[in-house]
Amino acid sequence: MRFEIIVSLFATMLISAVLTPFVRQFAFRIGAEDRPNKRRVNKIPMPTLGGLAIFLAFTFATMFLLRSQFPTQQLWGLFGGELIIIATGMIDDIYELKPRQKMLGITLAALEVYFFAGLRMTELTIPFVGNYPLGWLSLPVTWLWIAAITNAINLIDGLDGLATGVSIIALSTIGITGYFFLTVSNTYVVIMIFALVAALIGFLPYNFFPARIYLGDTGSLFIGFMISCFSLYGLKNATFISIIIPVVIMGVPITDTVFAMIRRILNRESITHADKHHLHHRLMQMGLTHRQTVLVIYGLALIFSFISLLYPMSTMWGSVLLTLAVLVGLEIFVETIGLVGPDRQPLLNWIKKIVQTFTSRTSNEEQKHNK
């Protein structure tokens, strides 16, 4: 059985690689192109719709190659949401939807998997307090989770191969965590995760710098939506650990999204306002090349993934302290690269004051001692 799964995953990777050139030509024919402008890094029109090749390869794997591995209701319930999100992405790649229209598509997909695939948060466990059923809050909380993760991947898709590579790292980590720490009844989720990883690996050579095709919103929305759904399989009874692990795994896109919102609020701009101050923009403005920027962010994604693997092995207090350490380290990194703004460095300024105060006291004590 394991050999059959491995062969199927390898076949999925090949199918994705074979389909991508055809999807590239199809994108040109229907006008799904990313044209250069002041916000883009590409200098020539670039075909989008790359996510369609990933979706087709993944669907072939789950519906045919690995069909016997998945419960029927779960498979078809999830497939309905996939179709809605793919349709939303394709329409956006061709006609460019407004943010509200795009959010409507995400909402419809979230409602579909909530009611037909049973993907939902039903209970919340607060550390040191107790368990609380979400009741009617289950729907809005589930929707918020799906919308947040989906948009996070969509926002980070700004450089060749960036969202694809980060998603491969994130999904692989979720799959590894799921294989070792989820119950046996959910092993089919792990197989589905690695089927998507295989499809992404087959697509990556065409998408890495210099790219020949972009993911487009078809791809970034689909990948983000699938990551949010996969993580929900472990969040039915949401605990501190079950929530924090996927959040840390998705540390790069979530960090970029959260600080983009903070930056825009501080600048008194709409949170949907586009700018060139995302993580990848800032790294390139600091002097890194396109390829170096992508590789650095891959490295950051790997660091977050390694950290996430420590949580299942930690005690509750250990997990809390680990989270605090991650937040402090992340804030220092964000302030260092000026992700919110070059003049907004509250933690670094506070640290500098402490260092200056300590240095001044040490200097005074040395002078007194010398006298």
- For the segment 336-359, the average pLDDT, to the nearest whole number, is 83
For residue 189, with 0-12 CB atoms within 10 Å meaning exposed, 13-18 middle and 19 or more buried, which class applies?
A: buried
pTM of the model as a whole: 0.90
Return the pLDDT at 145: 92
The pLDDT mean for the chain works out to: 87
Residue 301, CA distances (Å) to 140, 253, 254, 363 in order = 28, 9, 11, 42
Contact (CB, 8 A) for 290 and 284: yes
Number of domains in the chain: 2
User: 30 and 163: one domain?
Assistant: yes
- Residue partners of 97: CB distance under 8 A and separation at least 6: 88, 91, 105
186 is in an annotated binding site: no
Q: Are residues 137 and 191 in the same domain?
A: yes
Separation CA 261–CA 83 (nearest Å):
29
What is the rounded distance in angstroms from the CA atom of residue 53 to the CA atom of residue 59? 10
Cβ-based neighbour number of residue 131 at 10 Å:
11
260 lies in the same domain as 365: no
pLDDT of residue 149: 93
Co-location of 360 and 325 in the same domain: no
Secondary structure class of 285 (helix, strand, coil)? helix
Whether residue 130 is predicted with pLDDT greater than 80 in this model: the reply is: no
pLDDT at 132 over 90: no
Residues 39 and 56 in one domain: yes
The predicted structure's pLDDT at residue 133: 82
The answer, yes or no, to whether residue 291 has pLDDT greater than 80, is yes
Instruction: Check residues 185 and 210 and name the one with the higher pLDDT.
Output: 210
* Secondary structure (3-state) at 46: strand
Alpha carbon distance 111, 339 (integer Å): 34
pLDDT 10s digits, 64-121: 999 888 888 889 999 999 999 999 999 999 998 998 999 999 999 999 999 999 888 8
What residue numbers bound the domain in which 352 lies? 344-371
Residues 192, 119 share a domain: yes
Greater pLDDT, 363 or 27: 27
Of the pLDDT bands very low, low, confident and very high (cuts 50, 70, 90), residue 183 is very low
| One domain for residues 209 and 264 | yes
Please indicate, yes or no, whether residues 363 and 294 belong to a single structural domain of this protein: no
CB atoms within 10 A of CB 352: 11
For the record, the structure tokens of 179 come out as 């294989």
359 and 278 within one domain? no
Q: What is the pLDDT of residues 11-35, one digit of tens each?
A: 999 999 999 999 999 999 998 988 7
Same domain, 282 and 349: no
Confirm or deny that 343 is annotated as ligand binding. Answer: no
pLDDT of residue 237: 53
| Residue 341 vs residue 13, higher pLDDT | 13
Assess whether 159 and 61 both reside in one domain: yes
Asked whether residue 272 falls in the same domain as residue 350, the answer is no
User: Which pair of structure tokens corresponds to residue 225?
Assistant: 């939506």
Of the pLDDT bands very low, low, confident and very high (cuts 50, 70, 90), residue 1 is low
Distance between CA atoms of 248 and 309, rounded to whole angstroms? 10
